[in-house]
Structure 1
Amino acid sequence: MVRTASTVPAAPANPTAAPACDSASASAQHPVPHPARLVALLPGRVRALLPARSAANGRRLRLALTLLPLVLLGAWAAFDWRTVHGGAVRLASADPRWLLAGVLFTGLCSVASAFVRQGAVPERLPPGQLLATQFAAGAAGHALPGNIGAHAVVLRFLRRQGIPLARATSSLALYSAVKPVAKTLVIVAFVVAFPGTLRLTELLPKGETLALVGAITGVSLAAVVTLITTVRPLRRPLIGGLRTALTDTRIVHSRPGRALALWGGAAAFPLCQGAVVASVGSSLGLPVSWPQMLFAYLVASTAAGAVPAPGGLGPMDAALVFTLVAFGAPAALATTTVIGYRVLTVWLPLLPGTLVLSALVRAKVL
């Protein structure tokens, strides 16, 4: 024990090199359990159903992952085909120049998301593969609730880049934590910049709604705390992951470039999404100003974020229509605007996104 203690290196002379050492020591002291150990925690009957690890099973799994996006695309199209067809028919009379602007803003959403992902890790990621991964993750994110599909794609990409599982997971946690904070700051900036344009009194929820939201939040927090304190196998990896996340957060914010990419991209993403709504609304002649349409998206996406729907579909659409109507838009025109927004942000990039996802799996980038 004495010999081990004597071999601990002294603090580096360069202060900028200390965070990296702290990150490595944090990962070593609080490792995330190996997948085999996690499998060992499963009941015996569940472990018996898992396939044995072999080269043949690995090839089958990779083929399944390659075909899965295309299968999800077909299922999604069969489920929501009427909405897509109706929106396309209504958008036939829209101004194509504004629709082209909406397509441009849709592409910028992937760029903004790529900046956030890069800002959440200290290592430099290959820009081309990162952008392609974010484009593919956008398609995967619409298949599962809570953006789980997108996080799974990005986690696989980070692991392929040699980032340890603990630090890759902490980057996802940092990404998920920064985005709502940045969106809240953007909302505050809109309220300060356009005090007379935004009809805040008509958008504020009633007392019953606030009470329901508060009750749901309280129950969710109590459930998480109870789960962490009672399930011992989860306690150690969660605490270790939290310490790793705090260490990496300090490293990222000690580098101005990473911090700017993290917070700048997080603030730009909802603005690009709102610009898609505003572009579609302008193409249809919606009698609502651009600041109001941008703010309508910010408020609607914030209100619908607590509902675990795939890609925010359903609750997000209803909240956005309600907000646009509150700003003076006709209900039918507001509904068409939301359908056009969904066509540009979901259906238009879904097919190329799934193809890119399959190509990244075949190229072993994922």
Structure 2
Amino acid sequence: MTAPPVLTPTTTTARTRRRVCWQTALTLGVLVAAACLTRRQWPVVVTGAGRLAVADEGWLLVGAVAALATWVSAALAQQGAVAERLPSARLLAAQFAASAANHVLPAGLGAGAVNVRFLMRCGLPVGRSAGALAVKATVGAAVRIVLIAGLAATCPGVLRVPHVPAGVVAVLVAAAMLVAALPRTRLWPRLRRGSAAVAADIRTVHARPSRAAALWGGSLAFAAAHSLVLICVTQAVELPLSPARVALLYLAASSAAALLPTPGGIGSLDAALAFALTASGAPGATAASVVLGYRLLTVWLPLVPGLLVLGVLIRRKAL
């Protein structure tokens, strides 16, 4: 039997560099496509920006408060993902800095790196730090699925399952069966070990009711706060869509945009949101106003302060 290859630091670094290069290339491709699409629709974007400039300031202020709540919710969920008590002020600052870093690096690498470094500075080993992020991501995905299912039941007809050709289904099923039939490959044991480690961390956290409540409550509040930001912007520009419908559109669009690893979903989320809003009957200019307003409150206004906080945390060796 051939001995498994020994992973050296050089090999690991090379693999990490290749993965980052592929992710960066894909990110650049998505951003170029988004730029081309924006150029084609530039008159609509300009009209949307003009409409946002005269939007209701009261609703935009409520949306800004909801944007602040997203970082508090993220901090609560991160605390719930570990058994140890984390310093509250630094935890909140780290989530604010992570949101800014997430819009600089692709595929959530920025936010993940900030949170892992923060947890390691709090005394957790690197394995448990990465596991805490996996627990938080798993619960966040589960919360989104439940929310989408519940809102889809209250807003029938909003989400339509696309028609998938039988040939595509057959290929996907065959690929899944092939992967399941090859348990001796190096990928499959890693997936099983990773899943087992995440499941063990989830059981450990749920052994403490206060941590479980923080984890699930923070994840739910995070999704709800982002939905509320979009709802407030739609109200500010007087888009006649119900709050439940807007929340469902946001959750569906952001989940679809997560499949493309752009920094903070820039380009992919914007296109998905604009498509979802126009498919629900919103005029193109109004949909552009909503997307611009959402991005203004969640990305562009807090970006520079978030990067400054990131610099302060690094300087004080909190990361």
Counterpart CA distance in 2 for 1:261 and 1:146 is 25
**Does the C-alpha gap of structure 1 residues 268 and 174 become closer, same or farther in structure 2, counting only changes over 3 Å?**
same
1:266 alignment partner, one of 219, 224, 236: 219
Structure-to-structure mapping, 1:248-327, within 5 angstroms: 248-327=201-280
Aligned ranges 1:131-210 → 2 under 5 Å: 131-192=92-153, 195=154, 198=155, 200-201=156-157, 203-208=159-164
Cα distance change on mapping 1:273 and 1:187 into 2, 3 Å:
same
Give the 3 Å change call, closer, same or farther, for CA 260–328 of structure 1 in structure 2.
same
- Matched AA of 1:39: P
Partner residue in 2 for 1:31: none
* Pairing of 1:1-366 with structure 2 (within 5 A): 38-41=8-11, 86=46, 89-192=50-153, 195=154, 198=155, 200-201=156-157, 203-208=159-164, 229-231=184-186, 241-366=194-319
Change (3 A) 1:162 1:343: same
Shift of 1:122: 0.7
Distance between the aligned counterparts of 2:174 and 2:66, measured in 1?
Answer: 37
Instruction: Normalising by structure 1, report the TM-score.
Output: 0.70
* Distance of aligned partners of 1:227 and 1:42 in 2 relative to their CA distance in 1, 3 Å threshold: farther
Distance 1:42 1:148, change over 3 A: closer
Question: What is the CA-CA distance between 1:91 and the residue it aligns to?
Answer: 2.1
Shift in Å, 1:216: 7.4
Root-mean-square deviation (Å): 3.4
Task: Give the counterpart letter for 1:169 in structure 2.
Answer: A
Change (3 A) 1:322 1:203: farther
TM-aligned CA deviation for residue 242 of structure 1? 4.5
Q: Counterpart of 1:63? A: none
**Whole-angstrom CA distance in 2 between matches of 1:242 and 1:348:** 37
Using the size of structure 2 for normalisation, the TM-score is 0.79
* Inter-partner Cα distance in structure 1 for 2:169 and 2:258: 12
Q: Is the alpha carbon distance of 1:127 and 1:90 closer, same or farther for their aligned partners in structure 2, counting shifts above 3 Å?
A: same
Q: Partners in 2 of 1:150 and 1:38 — Cα distance? A: 26
Q: What letter matches 1:107 in structure 2?
A: L
Distance 1:341 1:201 in 2: 25
Consecutive unaligned residues of structure 1, counting only runs of 5 or more, are 1-36, 47-75
Name the counterpart of 2:23: none
Where 1:201 maps in the other structure, the secondary structure is: coil
One-letter amino acid of the structure 1 residue matched with residue 203 of structure 2: R
Gaps of 5+ in 2: 1-6, 15-30
Q: How far apart in 2 are the matches of 1:185 and 1:128?
A: 31
| Conservation of the 8 A alpha-carbon contact between 1:98 and 1:279 | yes
